[in-house]
Structure 1
Amino acid sequence: MSAPLLDARIVVERGTFRLDVPLTVAAGEVVALLGPNGAGKTTALRALAGLQPLSAGHVTLDGTDLDRPDRRSWTPTERRPIGVVFQDYLLFPHLTARDNVAFGPRRHGADRRTARRVADEWLTRVGLTAYATRRPRQLSGGQAQRVALARALAVAPALLLLDEPLAALDARTRLDTRAELQRHLDAHAGATVLVTHDPLDALVLADRLVIVEGGRVVQEGDAATVTARPRTDYVARLVGLNLHRGHADGHTVRVADGLVLAVAEKLDGDAFVAFRPAAVALHPGRPDGSPRNTWPATVVGVQRHGDNMRVQLDGPIGVAADVTPAAVAQLRLAPGQAVWAAVKAAETHAYPAT
């Protein structure tokens, strides 16, 4: 297996916060950094860009050390072979779209004519030839995002960094721009690191997900692996699952005092149990019959979720249940309402926690 194009251990200490994230990215690979606010994602991206010096660790790109504190080696941002697309794009307001894109090649030593030719080629690739002479204030959000991407890619970067590149767009523009961005990332020969809060952006654009919480990597893998076996509450919410940790004994998992869930898998030891909100049925009283997993719960919130209603429940375990609007009306669900929750064993997925 060939060496990764990006090989980094990003260690940054700021006050009481310590970020320590190992990260490797192969040529042509897109890796998404996900995590809650304050997890350290943007700090990691800034460290890769050279905007935040490392406290320890290293950033090595294509065999060259860009930041290595133990060897007193540090390369300034402008000399790193990277392209960056910031959340707010940060286009130069006084320059046209063409000159914004040409800025990178000029900075890397190209003459004005060559830089403008490269800029025109990239504006054609992103479908903005007709907007070459417009300034940023004359562009829509989606157009500005494409200019920022063209500017980042015009220097043929070994590493492309994307910081919430779609966050400033409305829902429809985001859909179209995401598809456009995916096409350009597929064609990018270098390594790409994407920071995003949006699980859909990550699932569509990235080859691999790295989940960061509290400055540490808590889970990583391809989308199928991460979504099938979440290992933290954040990841479970990200992929839309209820997740509980407990102790397994055969086909049961004790997840709380007094609550033992029957599960389809046979396990022993520490285990996770995951199930979809749609698998949770609600009843006005204790149900009879087939569901083996039942427990009393209290409604703490009801809100619309797509075509259904999402009901947040408290009790031995906190769960989310997706039910129809008709069920909400029939059961008169409202905060403080007492109900019974039920999940069939066949609807659960249990797996080792270690």
Structure 2
Amino acid sequence: MTPPLLDGHLVVDRAGFRLDVRLRVAAGEVVALLGPNGAGKTTALRALAGLHPLTAGWLRLGGVELDRPDARRFVPPERRPVGVVFQDYLLFPHLSARDNVAFGPRRQGLSRRAARQRAADWLDRLGLAEQAGRRPGQLSGGQAQRVALARALAVHPTLLLLDEPLAALDAGTRLDVRAQLHHHLTDHAGAAVLVTHDPLDALALADRLVVVEDGRVVQEGDAATVTTRPRTDYVARLVGLNLHRGRADGRRVRLADGFAVPTADRLDGDAFVVFPPTAVTLHPDRPGGDAPHTWPATVAGVHRHGDHLRVRLTGLLDTAADVTPAVAAGLRLLPGQQVWASVAAGDVGAYPVGP
């Protein structure tokens, strides 16, 4: 098995918060770090860049130790083969786009002429040849983002770090720049780590997702596994699914207060159950029969979600349901209203809590 290009156990203590994350990234692989605000994503990125020294653990890149506290080994940021694209780009405002990109190669020892030529080549690759002489204040958001990417790639980094690289862009520009970024990440031979809170960016750009909460990895895997089998409420909300935990017994899972839902999967033991909001049906009164998949609920809120309305339900199960505007009007859904909810067995997935 080929060893990972990036291999690290990142432990960083900061003001009552501890990051403790194991991270491996292969050559040519893009890994997305996802997580809520304050989870430790940016701390991890800054540790990789050398801006936050490790408290414990280690960091190796291409077999070279960059940080190992117990051996008093620390390579400063400027000596690491790492390129960084920050959320706010952090371009030098007094330099042209060409000189911003040439800055890194100059620090690596290239002559001014060679560095400017390399910068011009990268700007041309990213469709910015005509903007080479402009300063950051004269560039659009999308152009500035691409200059920041060119600056990071111009140092031929073994590791490319991207911190919310599309967050500052408007929706239209974001779509175009995401496509360009995907193209250049595909061509990048080194490892890449992307920090984002946007699941679309992660799914479009990354080969593997690593979800961090409270400084720990809570789930990792390819997009198909993470999006269909979430293991925390944060991940479930991120991918738009309802997630509950209970005890499976054959083709049903007992949840709160003995309430049970039928599932399409046969399972025994501690289990997660998951179903999309579109699978939840709302009724003004309790449907006939004693179907175990029907429960009383209270409407906590209603807001537009694409072509549907998303209804937040509380009570026996905290659940989200998607209904059409016509259904919402027929039910006259308002906060505090009592309804009945149901879900069909064929729409409910179940999987073990353990690995």
Q: TM-score w.r.t. structure 2 length? A: 0.99
1:289 CA drift (Å): 6.4
Quick check: 1:292–1:345 contact (8 Å CA) kept in 2?
Answer: no
The one-letter code matched in structure 2 to 1:40 is: G
Q: What is the aligned partner in structure 1 of residue 16 from structure 2?
A: 16
The answer for the alignment partner of 1:150 in structure 2 is 150
Does 2:263 align with 1:263?
yes
What amino acid sits opposite 1:7 in the alignment? D
Match of 2:43 in 1: 43
Q: CA deviation at 1:17?
A: 1.1
Residue matched to 1:294 = 294
Matched to 2:208, the amino acid is R
Specify the alignment match of 1:161 in structure 2. Answer: 161
Instruction: Give % identity.
Output: 72
* CA deviations over 1:119-175 (Å, ceiling 9, x no partner): 000001000000000000000000000000000000100000000000000001000
Q: Which residue of 2 aligns with 1:60?
A: 60
For 1:245, the aligned partner's letter is: R
* In structure 1, distance between residues paired with 2:324 and 2:289: 22
* Native 8 Å contact 1:291 1:343 kept in 2: no
Q: Would you identify which runs of 4 or more consecutive aligned residues in structure 1 move more than 6 Å? A: none
**How many Å separate the matches in 1 of 2:290 and 2:80?**
62
Question: Deviations 1:254-310 (Å, cap 9, x if unpaired)?
Answer: 110041111121111100000000000000001136965100000000000001000
Secondary structure of the residue aligned to 2:255 is strand
Structure 1 residue 93 displacement after superposition: 0.1
Query: Which residue of structure 2 lines up, in the alignment, with residue 133 of structure 1?
Result: 133
Amino acid in structure 1 at the alignment position of 2:200: L
Quickly say closer, same or farther: Cα 1:87–1:342, change in 2 above 3 A.
same
Return the alpha-carbon distance in structure 2 between the equivalents of residues 258 and 288 of structure 1. 20
Q: Report what 1:5 is aligned to.
A: 5
Counterpart CA distance in 2 for 1:314 and 1:294 is: 14
Please state if 1:273 is matched with 2:236: no
What letter is aligned with 1:102? A
Q: When the two structures are superposed, what TM-score results if normalisation uses the length of structure 1?
A: 0.99
Secondary structure of 1:155's match? coil
Q: Distance in 1 between matches of 2:67 and 2:181?
A: 29
Give CA deviations for 1:90-139 in whole Å, capped at 9, x if unaligned. Answer: 00000000000000100100000000100000001000000000000000
Number of aligned residue pairs: give it: 354
Instruction: Give the structure 2 partner of residue 124 of structure 1.
Output: 124
The aligned counterpart of 1:352 is 352
Q: Supply the distance in 1 between the matched residues of 2:291 and 2:158 (Cα, whole angstroms).
A: 55
In the other structure, the counterpart of 2:81 is 81
The 5 A counterparts of 1:162-311 are: 162-288=162-288, 292-311=292-311
- Cα deviation per residue 1:302-340 (whole Å; 9 max; x = unaligned)? 000001000000011100000001111110001000000
Contact 2:86 2:163 (C-alpha < 8 Å) held by counterparts: yes
Q: What is the RMSD of the two structures over their aligned residues, measured on CA atoms?
A: 0.9
In 2: Cα distance, 1:15 partner to 1:152 partner: 30
The 1-side partners of 2:217 and 2:310 are apart by 30
The Cα offsets for residues 167-207 of structure 1, whole Å up to 9 and x where unpaired, read as: 00000100010000000000000000000000000000000
Asked if the contact 1:66–1:74 (Cα under 8 Å) also holds between the matched residues in 2, the reply is yes
Query: Which residue identity does 2:69 align to in structure 1?
Result: P
User: Secondary structure of 1:235's match?
Assistant: helix
In structure 1, distance between residues paired with 2:270 and 2:146: 47
* Residue aligned with 1:104, SS: helix
**2:325 corresponding residue in structure 1:** 325
Any unmatched runs of 5+ in structure 1?
A: none
